[in-house]
Amino acid sequence: MTDTKPYETYLWSPKREEYEAKEIPEDIDCIFCAQANNDDRVSKVTVYEDDFLMVELNIFPYNTGHLMVVPKKHVNSMTELEDDERNKLFSMVSNVEELQREVVDPAGIDVGINIGKEAGESIPHLHVQLVPIYEKDRGFMETALDTKVMKKSIMDMAEEYRERKDILEDY
Ligand SMILES: [Zn+2]
């Protein structure tokens, strides 16, 4: 069984203050567009960003080291991207796979896109999620209590990924 779902509760095992996600103001239609426009009313923890896309930590991670690749253009289907945009997006997804292998050494990686609410989409703006899966991921806390034990804080994880940002730069 993999960990590709949000948990009820997180238990942050590092003794460090939990990352505070900001409450999203009502007049923000799309959180990813707001992030792309550097709206400081929304939280954003990026590992890499340029004019075309963002690679960011999911601040409600399904697992330690959960990353998302988000094109800045507001689309909600792969078919709405131009061919070269789609190629660039997936070239970055491949780089992120490499980054995760280097930095968090997962047993596997669950790569996913949810298009449409019925498919589990939470934000209707195309994004690719890469969730590292580790050996012995699910213990008592996860199985019985729906509580995810997070091995590293969001900010520590961001720092570790940023140290190997070079893997992402060429895509
Ligand atoms: Zn958007």
Q: 108 or 146, which is more confident?
A: 108
| pLDDT of res. 33 | 97
Q: Is the pLDDT of residue 30 over 90?
A: yes
Return phi, psi of residue 128, to 5°: -110, 125
pLDDT (tens digit, 9 = 90+) per residue, 1-27? 445 566 777 776 654 455 667 788 889
Separation of alpha carbons 56 and 45, rounded Å: 6
Distance 126 CA to ligand 1 centre (A): 8
Confidence band (pLDDT; 50, 70, 90) for 148? Answer: confident
Nearest 10 degrees: Cα torsion 135, 65, 12, 49? 180
The total of other beta-carbon atoms located within 10 Å of residue 163's CB is 11
Distance 42 CA to ligand 1 centre (A): 13
Mean pLDDT calculated for residue range 49-70 = 95
Separation of alpha carbons 21 and 27, rounded Å: 17
Distance 115 CA to ligand 1 centre (A): 13
pTM: 0.86
Distance 108 CA to ligand 1 centre (A): 29
Domains annotated for the chain, with CATH where assigned, are: 9-13+40-169 (3.30.428.10)
Nearest 10 degrees: Cα torsion 40, 58, 51, 27? -40
Q: 25 or 86, which is more confident?
A: 86
Separation of alpha carbons 66 and 85, rounded Å: 23
β pairing state of 46-49 and 108-112: unpaired
pLDDT (tens digit, 9 = 90+) per residue, 129-143? 999 999 877 777 777
Active site residues: 127
Output the six-digit token pair for 12. Answer: 């942050």
Distance 123 CA to ligand 1 centre (A): 8
